[in-house]
Structure formats: structure tokens, C-alpha cells
Amino acid sequence: MDTSLWYRNFGELEARGQSAIYEQWALGVADDPELIALIDELPLQKRQPNLVFACARLLGAPEGDYPRFRRWLVQHWSAVVPEAHARSTQTNEARRCATLLPALALIPGPLALLEVGASAGLCLFPDRYSYSYDDGIHIDPATGPSEVLLQCTTAGNLPGPVSLPNVVWRAGLDRRPLDVRNAGDTHWLETLVWPEQHERRARLRAAIRIAAEDPPFLVRADASELASLAAEAPSDATLVVLTSAVLVYLPFAERMRFVESVRALGVRWISLEGVRGLPTVRAALPDDHGSDGRFVLALDEVPLAFTGPHGQSLDWIAGR
């Protein structure tokens, strides 16, 4: 992908309305040949705006206007490069559970959840959060309201009833899993939250507290180890593989091998990926909607809804 276009699309389609700082930075970089040349020295998967910006902020980049950020980035680029090589955008947004929940409700329980690209595993706790959908649906755990309330706007005919799943086993794969009990890991998770998103940061901290009470079983491995971990799931539960904004980081051939491995397991698969993440899902969409930065929720490669990338919206399309 052309790096300049990548940053422009990020600024106009993802950051706009979500972070004025990231929008300004991304559009500034897009029109800055000198910085594009520096970023192009990174491997393709390390050029991502989220990653470059988060690494810079981790190292102390000022959260202000683009000229000030640019001066800092040029001066400190030699320090940003190794951070970008060592890290990845493990944005563990618990609010994505608000868009996963209607798909989970379609699967008979009890459920065993296995997330690929789990980061710290915060999306493995859909049964521990409270939910509020703008059509009047409010759901709390059986133990009472959670300190994590996931709010989501909806459109289309959301199927009902939407209820919390009975999760009896939860595990995840990640090339670099993050530990919710490790201060350095949680600081990185907080840095991945965009600058002005204070509510999102507070939600992250609350989700981390919930996960720290019963940390998920996370394995340091890549997607090729899916079958090995799946074999550990209890046989009396329905195994559900979850992927959330992870397939874009796999080269296409590796991505297709992963798809075949999920199919071979014969499990249920909930994916929440960009429009171009899965060819079968994209081909089944009523229209592409690929230009507005939304994700697609799919169950077993059948598209169900368009969603906001961070779980903020759910536009149900199944049955239309």
C-alpha cells in the first residue's frame, strides 16, 4: 500500500471525529515526503499510523499540533524505529464485545472462546461486561451491573433476544501476549488509546481490572498454532474462534492458510475485520462499503453487520 495514501485514509476515515490530534498528524504525514521516506524504511506491517504514533507517544512525543510533532519525530526517529520493530498495535478494545455479543447470542452454549491475536485478552470476557444499545436493550451480568458499560449505537433489525453467553473456557493466541498484571504491558495498552479518548482509556482500565481478577490463558504463538490450543478446549462446550482486527496483519497467503485451518477444525468462527479482510465475507456483502472505515461482523464467514472499528456502532445487515 502507498504509505501516503495509507496515512491519508487513516486521517480522513478513521481518526476524523475520533481524534483531532491523530487526524492532523496523519494528514500532515501524508503530505510530508521527508517523513514518508523515513516511514517507508520500516517493514510494511510496521508503517501503520496507529503503531508509529503510539510508539512516538510512548517515548514522549508532544500531543499537539503537527509541526511540533514533526520536529519531535525527526529528532527522535532513531529511537522510534526499534520500538516499532519490537511492538505491534495490540489495541485491546473491550467495546468490540458489544458488536460480538449479538453473534455470540446466535450460538448455543456453553461456549469455549479462543481468540487469535488476543493481546491482553480483554475481548474474552463478554460475559463480565454490561451493555447498552440505543434501541433500549440493556444487559447486565447475573452478578449485577459491571463497572465496564459498553455502549453501542444500532441500525437495522438486531435479532433478539441478545443475552450474555455462558462462557466456561477462555484462551488466546498472540505473538506477544500482554499481561494485565504487568505495569509495562498495561501502559502500552493505554498508549494505544488515541490522545483525546479519555472515556475509552477509563473503560480500558476498568476492563483490565476485571481481567486481572481471573487472567485468561494466553499462549505466545502465532495463528498456525490454532489447532493445538483448540484441542485443549472442553469437549462439552461449543468452541468459538474469535478474530478481531487481526487478519490485516497476516500476509494474504498466511491469512488464507489460517482460514483453511479454522474450517478444518469444524468450529464456529466470529470475525470482526475490515471489509477486505476475508474474500468470502466481502463477496457476500450486499454492497462494499469499503470506503468508510467500517468493519464487518461475520459468523462462519457469513456477514451479519457493519460495525465501527472500536465497537461503537452496529448496523445489522443479515436478513435484509
Read off the pTM. Answer: 0.88
Identity of the amino acid at 201? R
* pLDDT class of 292 with cuts at 50, 70, 90: low
pLDDT single digits (tens) 1-36: 799 999 999 999 889 988 999 999 999 999 999 999
Cα gap 201→311, rounded to integer Å: 14
56 shares a domain with 35: yes
10 shares a domain with 120: no
122 shares a domain with 256: yes
Cα gap 64→196, rounded to integer Å: 11
Neighbouring-strand partners of residue 153: 313
pLDDT of 264 strictly over 90: yes
Element (H, E) at 46: none
Q: What is the pLDDT of residue 288?
A: 58
* pLDDT class of 294 with cuts at 50, 70, 90: confident
pLDDT of 165 strictly over 70: yes
Q: What is the pLDDT of residue 152?
A: 95
pLDDT of 134 strictly over 90: no
181, with CB counted inside 10 A (0-12, 13-18, 19+), is: exposed
Quick one: what percent of the chain has pLDDT higher than 70? 97
Identity of the amino acid at 287? D
Last residue of some domain: 86, 114, 142? Answer: 86
Cα gap 49→72, rounded to integer Å: 16
Assigned C-alpha cell, 89: 498495535
Q: What is the mean pLDDT of residues 197-214?
A: 95
Lowest mean pLDDT among 89-93, 167-171, 188-192: 89-93
Q: What is the mean pLDDT of residues 303-313?
A: 91
User: Which alpha helices (H) appear in 193-278, and where do they start and end?
Assistant: 198-213, 226-230, 252-265
245 shares a domain with 139: yes
pLDDT of 320 strictly over 60: no
* pLDDT class of 289 with cuts at 50, 70, 90: low
Last residue of some domain: 40, 55, 86? Answer: 86
307 shares a domain with 270: yes
275 shares a domain with 217: yes
How many CA atoms, within 13 angstroms, populate the side-chain half-sphere of residue 190? 15
Cα gap 150→157, rounded to integer Å: 19
Cα gap 102→93, rounded to integer Å: 17
224 with 261: CB under 8 angstroms? Answer: yes
Cα gap 176→34, rounded to integer Å: 31
Quick one: what percent of the chain has pLDDT higher than 90? 78
19 with 13: CB under 8 angstroms? Answer: no
Number of domains in the chain: 2
205 shares a domain with 108: yes
C-alpha closest to that of 19 among 201, 188, 195: 195
| Neighbour-count burial for 266-299, b at 16+ CB within 10 Å, e otherwise | ebbbbbbbbbebbeebbeeeeeeeeeebbbbbbb
Q: What is the pLDDT of residue 90?
A: 85
114 with 241: CB under 8 angstroms? Answer: yes
Q: What is the pLDDT of residue 25?
A: 98
Last residue of some domain: 60, 86, 112? Answer: 86
* pLDDT class of 105 with cuts at 50, 70, 90: very high
Q: Name the 3-class secondary structure at 141.
A: coil
255 shares a domain with 132: yes
Q: What is the mean pLDDT of residues 74-99?
A: 94
pLDDT single digits (tens) 211-260: 999 999 999 998 889 999 999 999 999 999 999 988 888 888 999 999 99
C-alpha closest to that of 191 among 84, 312, 286, 317: 84
120 shares a domain with 11: no
Q: What is the pLDDT of residue 224?
A: 85
Share the mean pLDDT of the chain. Answer: 92
C-alpha closest to that of 148 among 122, 174, 167: 122
Cα gap 53→249, rounded to integer Å: 17
CA distances to 94, 121, 253, 306 from 174, rounded to whole Å, are 17, 9, 19, 25
List the CATH number of the domain containing 311. Answer: 3.40.50
* Cβ neighbour number for residue 320 with a 10 Å cutoff: 7
186 with 88: CB under 8 angstroms? Answer: no
Q: What is the pLDDT of residue 46?
A: 95
Q: What is the mean pLDDT of residues 275-304?
A: 84
| Structural domain boundaries enclosing 149 | 94-316
Q: What is the pLDDT of residue 250?
A: 86
149 shares a domain with 17: no
99 shares a domain with 180: yes
Per the listing, cell 504509505 goes with 3
Q: What is the pLDDT of residue 319?
A: 60
63 shares a domain with 113: no
